[in-house]
């Protein structure tokens, strides 16, 4: 099983910044079947981070402020929900072991983060599908500078800035390439 996975964060440093949003799509490559989606906005009592990332996620932060007491879970609950979802997707796929993560910069960035003190990479197989590297050299595709470049150049559209939409876009590109092979 593969899980296309993305985070939105308040910066680049997992030690000083925070996870704001988790998005994932479970996929069974043997059946070419999307098994389910996961999306959570992570509530923090105090948001700390780097100015450019806070500005980039200003719509998400505004949404969090508007619904602060209603719909969002903290890190502990988000981690529990994500673990439960991963387990349910493994059962649905009939898969054993940890899923392989897929995404843009997923191994070097997303999987280095923690929720409630647990590194996210501990939930995944040690091998992941890094889409930026995967695309290098495929079908005259230039090495993408960012996931936004890949979405624009390969999918011929922009993908909204959210963890779930980025995860969906990465999986869509992966499936397109697999079908061409």
Query: Does 151 score more than 90 pLDDT?
Result: no
Instruction: State the chain's mean pLDDT as an integer.
Output: 88
Q: Which pLDDT score is estimated for 131?
A: 87
Tell me which CATH code domain 2-130 carries: 3.30.420.10
% of residues, the chain, pLDDT over 70: 89
pLDDT value for 78: 95
What would the pLDDT profile of 123-133 be if each residue is shown by its tens digit? 999 999 998 77
Q: What is the pTM of this model?
A: 0.91
Q: What is the DSSP string of 9-78?
A: ESSS-TTTS-EEEEEEEEEETTTTEEEEEEEEEBP-SS----HHHHHHTHHHHHHHHHTTTTS-B-HHHH
Spacing of C-alpha 10 from chain mean position: 15
- As given in the structure block, the two tokens for residue 104 are 């843009």
Higher pLDDT, 68 or 84: 84
Q: Which residues pair with 129 in a beta bridge?
A: 102
Structure tokens at 83: 């673990």
The structure tokens listed for 135 are: 């695309």
pLDDT at 66: 78
Domain boundaries along the sequence of the chain: 2-130
SS3 call for 131: helix
pLDDT on residue 138: 60
pLDDT at residue number 134: 78
Percent of the chain topping pLDDT 90? 67
The residues that bridge with 47 in the sheet, in sequence order, are none
Q: For 27-69, what is each residue's pLDDT tens digit?
A: 999 999 999 999 999 988 899 999 999 999 999 998 888 765 5
């Amino acid at each position: 099983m593969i899980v296309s996975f993305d985070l939105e964060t308040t910066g680049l440093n997992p030690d000083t910044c925070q996870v704001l949003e988790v998005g994932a799509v479970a996929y069974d490559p043997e059946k070419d079947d999307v098994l389910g989606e996961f999306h959570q906005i992570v509530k923090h009592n105090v948001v700390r981070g780097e100015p450019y990332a806070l500005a980039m996620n200003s719509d998400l932060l505004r949404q969090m402020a508007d619904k602060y007491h209603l719909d969002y879970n903290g890190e502990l609950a988000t981690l529990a929900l994500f673990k439960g979802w991963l387990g349910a997707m493994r059962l649905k796929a009939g898969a054993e072991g940890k899923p392989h993560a897929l995404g843009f910069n997923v191994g070097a960035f997303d999987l280095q983060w923690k929720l409630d003190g647990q590194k996210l990479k501990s939930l995944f197989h040690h091998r992941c599908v890094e889409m930026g590297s995967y695309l290098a050299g495929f079908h005259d595709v230039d090495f993408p500078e960012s996931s936004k470049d890949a979405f624009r150049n390969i999918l011929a559209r922009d993908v909204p800035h959210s963890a779930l939409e980025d995860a969906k876009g990465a999986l869509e590109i992966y499936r397109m390439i697999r079908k061409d092979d």
